[in-house]
C-alpha cells in the first residue's frame, strides 16, 4: 500500500522542482559526455526494436544513487527497472533516456525526465506529479514545473514562462503522437493515424513522449495523443502541460494512463477525443 500523501507547501514543491532540474541536467550531460564510441544495443525489452543502451542503464544508476543520497526516504520507479517504495509519500519517476531510439541514431530529440509524484505510481490514474523536469542535452533545453507554480523553459540563463497553443480548430492543429514497440500495437496505432491525418494540420512523431508533452506545453505542438505510455514517459511532461494551461486527459472520464493520454488546450483535447472516440 502506498504511504499517505504528504502535505507539500510552495517551499517544499520548489525544492523538489530544483532537485528534478539538477538531476535531469546532470544525467543529460552524462549521456552526452560519456556516450561510448560505437554505442550499440545492450538489451531489448517488449520487442526486438524496444532497445536499451548501456547509457540508459548508467543514467538510471546515476539517478538512483543521487536520489538515495539526497532523499533516502523517497520511493523510485525507473524505466530500466529501478523500483522501491519509500516511506515519505513521494516517489521519483524517472526516464533515464526518453527517446532511446533517437539517442541510438544520434537524432537530437531525446531527454532525461525526472518527476516527483504522490500516490501509487504502480497503478494508472492513482498518482499525480507535484514537480518535474525534462532536459534535452543537445538543445540545452530544460522544461520544469511544480504544482501551481507555472511551467518554464530554461536555456542557458534565459528562462521563459510557457503557455499551450491558442489554436482552437482541430483542422489547424499540429498533432503529435507516438507508437509502441509491439508490431500488433503499432499496426493499430498506424490505422488510427491514417484516419486522423486528413482531419488535422499535420502529424509529428518526434520519438520522445516527454518531449512531445513539453512541446505541447511550449505551444510547439498544438495537441498530442498516445496509447501505451508508461508513467516514466508521462510523469514530468504532463505537469509541464497542465502548468502551461493545458489539460491532460484519458479515455472517457478516466485519468491519463496507459490506455490513452491526450494533452493540449481543453478545446483541442475534447475535439481530438471526439475523433478518437475516446
Ligand atoms: C518511447 C518514446 C516514444 C513513445 C514510446 C515510448 P523510450 O520511450 O517516448 O516517443 O512513442 O511510447 O516508449 O523507449 O524511448 O524511453
Residue 209 CB–ligand 1 contact under 6 Å:
yes
Which pLDDT does position 2 carry in this prediction?
66
Q: Are 233 and 187 in contact (CB under 8 A)?
A: no
Closest by CA to 34, choosing from 66, 11, 58, 18, is 58
Distance of CA 203 to the CA centre of its chain: 19
The CB of 80 under 6 Å from ligand 1? The reply is no
* Residue to probe by mutation, ligand 1, list 209, 225, 228, 263, most atoms within 8 Å of CB: 209
Instruction: Give the mutation target among 105, 208, 211 for probing the ligand 1 site: most ligand atoms within 8 A of CB.
Output: 208
Decide whether any atom of ligand 1 lies within 6 Å of the 113 Cβ.
no
> Rounded to an integer, what distance in angstroms lies between the CA atom of residue 77 and that of residue 253?
26
Could you tell me the three cell numbers for 167? 489554436
The per-residue pLDDT of the chain, averaged, comes to 95
Residue 269 has pLDDT above 90, yes or no: yes
Q: Is the pLDDT of residue 204 over 90?
A: yes
Nearest to 196 by CA among 248, 274, 255, 266: 274
| pLDDT tens digits, one per residue of 30-89 | 999 999 888 888 888 888 888 889 999 999 999 999 999 999 999 999 998 889 999 999
Give the pLDDT band of residue 1 (cuts 50, 70, 90): low
Which ligand 1 atom is the nearest neighbour of the CA of 50? 14
- Quickly count: other Cβ atoms within 10 Å of residue 219's Cβ: 19
- pLDDT for 186 equals 95
Task: Let me know: does 251 contact 232? Beta carbons within 8 Å.
Answer: no
Residues 232-237 have a mean pLDDT of: 98
pLDDT at residue 179, as a whole number: 97
Cβ–ligand 1 distance for 228 under 6 Å, the answer yes
**Chain Cα centroid distance, residue 122:** 16
Residue 194: its H or E element:
helix 183-196
Residue 51 Cα: closest atom of ligand 1: 14
User: Judging by beta carbons within 10 Å of its beta carbon (0-12, 13-18, 19+), is residue 228 exposed, middle or buried?
Assistant: buried
pLDDT of residue 49: 86
139-177 pLDDT, tens digit per residue, is 999 999 999 999 999 999 999 999 999 999 999 999 999
Ligand 1 nearest-atom number relative to CA 229: 12
> For 35-43, which contacts have Cβ atoms below 8 Å and span 24 or more sequence positions?
39/104, 41/104
Atom of ligand 1 at shortest range from CA of 230: 13
Beta-carbon-side half-sphere exposure of residue 33 (alpha carbons within 13 Å): 7
Cα atoms found within 13 Å of the Cα of residue 39, Cβ hemisphere only? 21
Ligand 1 atom showing the smallest separation from residue 103 Cα: 15
3-class DSSP state for residue 248?
Answer: strand
Q: Report CA Rg, the chain.
A: 18
Amino acid at each position: 500500500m502506498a504511504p499517505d500523501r504528504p502535505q507539500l507547501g510552495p517551499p517544499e514543491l520548489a525544492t523538489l522542482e530544483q532537485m528534478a532540474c539538477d538531476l535531469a541536467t546532470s544525467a543529460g550531460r552524462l549521456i552526452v559526455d560519456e556516450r561510448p564510441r560505437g554505442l550499440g544495443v545492450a538489451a531489448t525489452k517488449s520487442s526486438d526494436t524496444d532497445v536499451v543502451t548501456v547509457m540508459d542503464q548508467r543514467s538510471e544508476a546515476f539517478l538512483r544513487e543521487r536520489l538515495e543520497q539526497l532523499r533516502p526516504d523517497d520511493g523510485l520507479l525507473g524505466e530500466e527497472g529501478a523500483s522501491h517504495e519509500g516511506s515519505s509519500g513521494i516517489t521519483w519517476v524517472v526516464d533515464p533516456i526518453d527517446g532511446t531510439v533517437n539517442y541510438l541514431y544520434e537524432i537530437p530529440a531525446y531527454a532525461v525526465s525526472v518527476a516527483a509524484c504522490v500516490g501509487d505510481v504502480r497503478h494508472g490514474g492513482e498518482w499525480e506529479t507535484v514537480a518535474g523536469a525534462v532536459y534535452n542535452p543537445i538543445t540545452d533545453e530544460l522544461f520544469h514545473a511544480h504544482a501551481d507554480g507555472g511551467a518554464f523553459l530554461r536555456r542557458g540563463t534565459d528562462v521563459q514562462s510557457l503557455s499551450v497553443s491558442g489554436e482552437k480548430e482541430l483542422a489547424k492543429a499540429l498533432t503529435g503522437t507516438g507508437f509502441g514497440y509491439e508490431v500488433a500495437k503499432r499496426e493499430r496505432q498506424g490505422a488510427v493515424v491514417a484516419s486522423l491525418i486528413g482531419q488535422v494540420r499535420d502529424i509529428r512523431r518526434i520519438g520522445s513522449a516527454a518531449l512531445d508533452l513539453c512541446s505541447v506545453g511550449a505551444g510547439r505542438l498544438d495537441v498530442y495523443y498516445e496509447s501505451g505510455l508508461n508513467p516514466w514517459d508521462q510523469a514530468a511532461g504532463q505537469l509541464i502541460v497542465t502548468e502551461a494551461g493545458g489539460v491532460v486527459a484519458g479515455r472517457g472520464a478516466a485519468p491519463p494512463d496507459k490506455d490513452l493520454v491526450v494533452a493540449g488546450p481543453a478545446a483541442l483535447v475534447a475535439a481530438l477525443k471526439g475523433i478518437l472516440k475516446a
